Chains A and B, each alone.
Chain A
Amino acid sequence: MASATSAGTTARTAELSGFREVQRLAYDCAEAVAAQLKPGVTERAAARMQREWLRERGVRDWFHLPFAWFGDRTAFVNFRIPLQFFPTHRELEPGMAFILDMAPVYKGFTADIGYSGCLGLNPVHDRLLADLEAHRELILREVRERRPLREIYEDVERLMVRQGHTNRHRAYPFGVIAHKIDRVRQRRWSPTLFGFGTQSLKGLASDALHGHREGWSPLWSPYSFSDHPPQPGLWAVEPHLGFRGTGAKFEEILVVTDSKDPQESAFWLDDDLPHVRRWQEEKAA
């Protein structure tokens, strides 16, 4: 199973392309659904649209079911309990920011993505998206330096504060900025528990157990259990910025390997994603 991250084999390339395929599929879904959003659509409807789009294309299991957050819920304003993450009847309005977050399992490969957008003009949202670029670079650089994950977490948070934003991934369970994902065995029946696929939860639990014995954790959090260098594997990284009732995030897979070469030791799985393309277009313009 861990072959994806042990250096240089064809099996590894094939495996990574499997992950890349499902990540692309998820981002395609996000773009397709985002294009259909219009005023009056509820979070629940948006979540259902994502689920149906992916089901039609062969997704049967989930790391977690799709989420959708609109308006100030993109910044998790007044979130107290995890149940508040689930889609509500909040309706989309012109100028509102939204986030679509989904984690489909396709042919046994998992992706976990986050897509931020807004309906019409929203300058605050544009600024947040632009500011996320620095975080993508910072995370990759520090992972390549093999800095402890907890320190990287704190550096990301410091950068957010310097930018004038607040760290909203702190609202996620365990305050994680990232978590490990892996391949999932495909079953005929794939139930979910509180929105999370049981197969994936099982994988996460077994990682947590192994990690506990070896001194690492599949959850990248601000707490002392993340005080270790990056563990080889696939990490779904999701820095989430918030600014006065508007939030924005991206989420994509970071590949960490045990290679000695810094370039090979960590890299983003795919650089052809909507938010990356957006930054490149802005630079070109």
Chain B
Amino acid sequence: MKTGQGPGQGSHQGQEGLRGARERRVRTGGVELCVAELGDAARPTVMLVHGYPDSKEVWSEVAQRLAERFHVVLYDVRGCGRSTAPKPLRGGFTLEKLTDDFLAVADAVSPGRPVHVVGHDWGSVQAWEFATVRRTEGRIASFTSMSGPSLDHFGHWIKKRMARPTPRRAAQLLNQGAKSWYVYMLHTPKLPELAWKGPLGKRWPRILERVEKVPGGSYPTPSLPTDAAHGAWLYRDNVIPRLRRPRADAYAHCPVQLITPTGDAFLSQRLYDDLERWAPQLVRRTLPAKHWVPRTRPDQLTSWITEFITAQEEGDPAKKVVATGPYADRFGGQLVLVTGAASGIGRATAFAFAEAGARIIAVDRDTEGAARTADMARLIGAPQAWAEAVDVSDEAAMEKLADTVDAAYGTVDVLVNNAGIGLSGSFLDTTTEDWQKVLDVNLWGVIHGCRIFGKRMAERGQGGHIVNTASAAAYQPSKILPAYSTSKAAVLMLSECLRAELAGQGIGVSAICPGLVNTGITTTSRFAGVSADEEKRRQAKAARLYGMRNYPPEKVADAVLRAVVRNQAVVPVTPEARGAHLMSRFTPRALRALARIEPPL
């Protein structure tokens, strides 16, 4: 089966999103549920449970992708989509009844074999109930939760903060309280139903597209007004009773993976702070996205769900699912391409991403060095790593690389344009060839990288990040580095402009300004206007100076990861780089005076 249509295409028929699905009706507790199945039924079963105000079609993108490996089952929760609603509505949506529905569907589609549950929003709230009550024990093989806490855990979370409201806890309470505004609205009688069946239902697709950046197309389905109106009873039947008297034994009896979108407007990330207490061996993932991740980040979800289920099905129990390094929750399984990865900052960055569990593509002119980087990256946690020998200043080679990467490894999630060369010497001594060389690598290399890979990132429409290695020399003028500084200043401005351009598409751009870092750049730098011997001497001297400063490239790599996680725009790294950055803003004249000093070389 081919992966589903990309977001943004497709017809307006809701069914179109689940092409090739086998349908059946499951009768349970006075309602009839509409169940859709995709993929080979002999494979492990994955059950996708949708949220509010959605129907099972919210999963269409993820389901099509998962169906290549699993038996995917989706159902419309009672009262939504093409499932019938209970009568009367009040009291018909309790978590107990939803658990009955789940068990009925599970028994119908996967008798005798436990299922892997994936829940989003209210689907996750329900699934927490499934994963923590006794009567489902042995029916659930794993649970992946996104944007939907257990109401019991939520209740305990609130109680703990109410009981001893330290300033931090009080702030957390207020923060989540403000994010839950819609829950209060849904508790008013009749009004929500009227709104959904009236203007809100009509405008909802536009609101999603504009505020939540959900691509248009086959979702939401035409059944939205009734889904939303019936679904209000999910809140009315469960929220107050559960928050008032949360169960004390809501411990998960299956492995749990938690995917937290960092930009969720309805749920604070702090809600999950004590989750390890309820779900031991919790696997955490973080995703820079808004609430509707099944629509906006289907590729990433598919990869994490597949990895988690595969680990439960056939994995080595002693092996950790998530890598050990910092930010492993964020970069696990992502595809990271680093240029200039055969040495120095590039290599250290590749290693740092590898420790976080990312898949690495090490690009460099130096084939051997790149291969070595890829090799070592695999040793420290990268599930896969490849080396590519490419000169970043060669546009055709970069195009070819992008095609290879696309075909063989997928779309790049994080691009690090790091390759650069040094050139020292006065402006009047710098020849045209020198200029050409330094601009070719330092500027054109970055332009090619951003243009060729950035375009593919934007076309995929599922976010990403670009990191460009500029330099402290980008804002610190100096009489000995005119060409180098010019190229790096251009990189800095390019990054800032690109950041503005790509912000709307969920792609972040960061410029890193390291400063004096102990790497091999000193021994490969050109010194314009001096003899070969003198150049060698100066290289050795510079290498010793940088060695004495001894700022390790590993710390720059840490700064790169931090910049991606926090989506920082400009990151000066070493203290001198930070100092110069401050001076360039507040005391530019002093910085200009420093530029006239000739360092001892």
Contacts and interface: CB of A to CB of B under 8 A. Distances in A.
Interface of A: 123-124, 127, 161-164, 166, 222, 243-244
A161 B520 contact: yes
A164 B347 CA distance: 8
Given A123-B379, A124-B379, A162-B369, 20 more contacts: A124-B380, A127-B376, A127-B379, A161-B343, A161-B520, A162-B343, A162-B372, A163-B372, A164-B351, A164-B372, A164-B373, A164-B376, A166-B552, A166-B554, A222-B547, A243-B380, A244-B351, A244-B355, A244-B380, A244-B554
Interface in B367-396: 369, 372-373, 376, 379-380
Contacts of B343: 161-162
Interface in B355-371: 355, 369
A239 B520 CA distance: 20
With a 10 A CB-CB cut-off, give which of B343, B355, B369, B380 has the most chain A CB atoms. Answer: B380
Contacts of A124: 379-380
A164 B369 CA distance: 9
Interface residues of B, number: 14
A127 B372 CA distance: 11
A166 B550 CA distance: 11
Interface in B551-573: 552, 554
25 contacts: A123-B379, A124-B379, A124-B380, A127-B376, A127-B379, A161-B343, A161-B520, A162-B343, A162-B369, A162-B372, A163-B372, A164-B347, A164-B351, A164-B372, A164-B373, A164-B376, A166-B552, A166-B554, A222-B547, A243-B376, A243-B380, A244-B351, A244-B355, A244-B380, A244-B554
Residues of A contacting B: mostly: helix
A43 B443 CA distance: 51
A162 B370 CA distance: 10
B94 to A, nearest CB: 47
Contacts of B547: 222
A168 to B, nearest CB: 12
Contacts of B369: 162
B154 to A, nearest CB: 36
Q: Which of B351, B379, B380, B554 has the most CB of A within 10 A?
A: B379
A162 B355 CA distance: 20
Contacts of B372: 162-164
Interface string B318-337: 00000000000000000000
Nearest to A246: B380
Nearest to A127: B379
Q: Which of A123, A124, A127, A162 is most buried by chain B, counting CB atoms within 10 A of its CB?
A: A162
Nearest to B373: A164
A29 B376 CA distance: 32
A220 to B, nearest CB: 16
B510 to A, nearest CB: 23
A163, A164, A222: residue with the most chain B Cβ atoms closer than 10 Å: A164
Contacts of B552: 166
Contacts of B355: 244
Contacts of A161: 343, 520
A281 B347 CA distance: 31
Nearest to B369: A162
A243 B347 CA distance: 12
A259 B136 CA distance: 82
Contacts of A222: 547
A268 B520 CA distance: 31
B519 to A, nearest CB: 8
B61 to A, nearest CB: 37
A164 B372 CA distance: 8
Interface string B539-551: 0000000010000
Name which of A162, A166, A244 has the most chain B CB atoms within 10 A of its CB: A244
A161 B372 CA distance: 11
The 6 closest A-B pairs by CB, nearest first: A164-B376, A124-B379, A123-B379, A244-B380, A164-B372, A127-B379
A85 to B, nearest CB: 19
A161 B342 CA distance: 10
A164 B351 CA distance: 10
Contacts of A164: 347, 351, 372-373, 376
A150 to B, nearest CB: 10
Nearest to A244: B380
Contacts of B373: 164
A124 to B, nearest CB: 5
Nearest to A166: B552
A120 to B, nearest CB: 11
B340 to A, nearest CB: 14
Contacts of B554: 166, 244
Interface string B497-522: 00000000000000000000000100
A144 to B, nearest CB: 23
A163 B375 CA distance: 11
Contacts of B347: 164
Contacts of A162: 343, 369, 372
A248 to B, nearest CB: 13
A224 B546 CA distance: 16
A236 to B, nearest CB: 24
A278 to B, nearest CB: 18
**Most interface-central of A123, A124, A161, A166 (chain B CB within 10 A):** A161
Contacts of A127: 376, 379
Contacts of A163: 372
Contacts of A166: 552, 554
A127 B347 CA distance: 17
A123 B372 CA distance: 15
Nearest to B519: A161
Contacts of A244: 351, 355, 380, 554
A155 to B, nearest CB: 12
A166 B369 CA distance: 15
A124 B351 CA distance: 13
A124 B373 CA distance: 13
Nearest to B520: A161
A243 B380 CA distance: 10
Interface string B230-253: 000000000000000000000000
Nearest to A126: B379
Contacts of B380: 124, 243-244
A127 B377 CA distance: 12
Interface string B378-418: 01100000000000000000000000000000000000000
A248 B554 CA distance: 19
